Amino acid sequence: MTIAPPDRERTAERLLRTSAKHSYDPLTEIDWEAPLVEGRPFSPPHRSSLYGTALWEELGEERRIELTRHETASVASVGVWFECLLIRVLMRHIYDQDPTTKHVQYALTEIGDETRHSVMFARMIDKFGCPAYGPDRVARLLGRSVVLVLRQISGFAGALFVEEILDALQREAMADETLQPLSRQVARIHVVEEARHIRYAKQELARQWTAAGPFARAYHRLVLGGAVYLATTRLVHPGVYAAVGLDPRRARRVAARNPHYRQTLAWAAGKVVAELGGLGMIKGPGRRLWRRAGLLPQADLRGRDPLA
């Protein structure tokens, strides 16, 4: 299905209208002075990277909650990294285009959303009293070049991947009344604003993928596989485990092999795997990286990390 430019403009116009109605300033929308609630987890415990393992049993209630505090902070700080990468992809996408089109104006609006999200995540990390873990050094380094090779199709597909997995995790968190109210508020704002980003990425992706030739498709499949692997395996920084008194190397290994956690990742990615798989984007050598990241059925449970 080729989407003609007028349709592209109509979609952008609709998204601009939604943005005008449903945009939030997290600085005023969230009560940053409210204290954290004693004894409440920061994310659903069953989504923790160690849930269901012997290490989880060893931790005990208090340290498990601490682990959810640090894991949520780690995912948020990696979220800021993703958003910085996405802003670069979007900036490059519109650089040579006509700014009077609604399409470009919507892209600029989305960049505005992402800058507010990054400030919101940063504030939440600070409020949790956690460091900004961010991705590890290897991922940070690869991120620099990933942005150079993530052109158009893989850029939008990569954005869609990250947006969909965060969407699944945050929809669950915002509805969970047993969690810290701050975690839920942040999740709610992000879910509402990301819904339009997902629509925009899907439409751009469908349009560009339909027009792409076999070489371009092969290139984007491979680059996308690399980006997806990097994004999925870097959500939890090993420093998180050290913060709750665990050996970070050992805990990271346990998490990578943890079938519960791999199930969580596969669940969070279920929708986007179906969407991108349906387009034919999860094929060829790149598919191996999807499998290695634990996102496809019959995932390799050895959890070996080719970048380590």
Stretch that binds Fe ion, among 23-31, 87-95, 117-125, 213-221 (CB under 5 A): 117-125
- Here the contacts of 269-272 (C-beta below 8 Å, separation 24 or greater) are 269/161, 269/164, 269/165, 269/168, 269/232, 269/295, 270/168, 271/164, 271/168, 272/160, 272/161, 272/164, 272/165
Total site size for Fe ion, rule CB under 5 A: 4
Of 121 and 261, the one with the shorter C-beta distance to Fe ion is 121
Q: Does residue 196 touch Fe ion according to CB under 5 A?
A: no
Binding-site member from 197, 202, 207, 237 for Fe ion (CB under 5 A): 197
**Binding flags for Fe ion, 20-49, as an x/- string (CB under 5 A):** ------------------------------
Of 127 and 197, the one with the shorter C-beta distance to Fe ion is 197
Distance CA 179, CA 48 (A): 13
Question: Which residues make Cβ contacts (< 8 Å) with residue 43, sequence separation at least 6?
Answer: 68, 71, 72, 75, 169, 173, 179, 183
Of 109 and 258, the one with the shorter C-beta distance to Fe ion is 109
Contact 291, 266 (CB under 8 A): no
Tokens read off for 277: 């798989």
**Binding flags for Fe ion, 176-195, as an x/- string (CB under 5 A):** ------------------x-
In angstroms, the Cα distances linking 270 to 192, 222, 279 are 20, 20, 14
Give least dist CB 117 to Fe ion, A.
Answer: 4
Give least dist CB 121 to Fe ion, A.
Answer: 8
Binding-site member from 8, 103, 116, 117 for Fe ion (CB under 5 A): 117
Q: Which residues bind Fe ion (CB under 5 A)?
A: 114, 117, 194, 197
